Amino acid sequence: WKYTGADNGELKVYANWTAVPKYNITNTTVDYGTVTADKTSATAGELVNVTAVNATGYHFVEWNVTNSTGKITVTNNQFVMPASDVNAGAEFAANVTNVTFYNVNEVIASKLNTYNASTNLTAVPTRDGYTFNGWNVSSESGTAFNSTAYNDKGVWKYTGADNGELKVYANW
């Protein structure tokens, strides 16, 4: 910049500022879990951290962070804020447990059971001279199985939050 003024006096120069725009981050309500961003707004190019917490019996599947043009890539629970508003969300799915039912050390049924969903158990245990008292998580009587319902029609509902294998034993 070259000053061409003719006076020998004082010249004051002032900076001219333009505010950098901030864009909104909305935590989208999702089924079976919560999503939160570490801030409610950010400038384009700023890193935003997101956290997903699954509800009991569910697990995190993938991020669903979007803006008006589509899905935004999330890496290591962070995304780069675009020059637009963002919805921060995630997908969760119910845990699936493989439940194996035993009657006196003999497998009578094996079912994949989705968390909090009813399962029809058609192989109801029988044992001569004994009355069926329900299911246990141990082959010995005493430890009651975490089941909200098992009835004489063979409908069973498991509400355990695990995601894997479970063995249950007939209690006589």
Output the pTM of the full model.
Answer: 0.70
pLDDT digits (tens, 9 = 90+) for 51-107: 999 998 899 999 999 999 999 999 999 999 999 999 999 999 988 888 888 888 889
Question: How many whole angstroms separate alpha carbon 136 and alpha carbon 125?
Answer: 13
Please give the share of the chain, as a percent, with pLDDT higher than 70.
Answer: 76
Distance CA 157, CA 53 (A): 24
User: Cα–Cα distance between 82 and 49 in angstroms, integer?
Assistant: 14
